[in-house]
C-alpha cells in the first residue's frame, strides 16, 4: 500500500474531497481530508466516512491512518 493509492481510494469514495496523504514507511499514514460532506458531523462520524472508503484495507494493508478531517470552511477554502 502506498500514499497515492490511499488518496485515490478516498477520493473515489468522497468525490468532492480534497485529499492529501503521506506515509513514507508504507505502513503508517497521515491523511488530511477536506470535504463538504463533513458539515454538521462530529469527528468520529467524519472518520467513519473516510474509513468506509478504504473498507477492509483498514487494519490489514493499512496498519495505521491518522486523520485530520475538515469542512471547506474549517480549512479556510
Q: 19-53: per-residue pLDDT in tens? A: 999 998 887 899 999 999 999 999 999 999 999 99
Scored b (16 or more CB within 10 A) or e, 28-48 reads ebebbbbbebbeeeeeeebbe
Superfamily for domain range 3-75: BolA-like (3.30.300.90)
Would you kindly state where each structural domain of the chain is located, as residue ranges? 3-75
Q: Which residues contact 26 (CB under 8 A, 6 or more apart)?
A: 1, 2
- pTM as predicted: 0.91
Hey, which residues does 20 pair with through a beta bridge? Answer: 32
Amino acid at each position: 500500500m502506498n500514499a497515492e493509492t490511499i488518496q485515490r481510494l478516498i477520493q473515489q469514495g468522497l468525490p468532492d474531497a480534497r485529499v492529501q496523504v503521506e506515509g513514507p514507511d508504507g505502513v503508517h499514514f497521515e491523511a488530511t481530508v477536506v470535504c463538504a460532506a463533513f458539515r454538521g458531523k462530529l469527528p468520529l462520524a467524519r472518520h467513519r466516512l473516510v474509513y468506509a472508503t478504504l473498507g477492509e484495507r483498514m487494519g490489514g494493508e493499512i496498519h495505521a491512518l491518522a486523520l485530520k478531517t475538515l469542512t471547506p470552511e474549517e480549512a479556510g477554502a
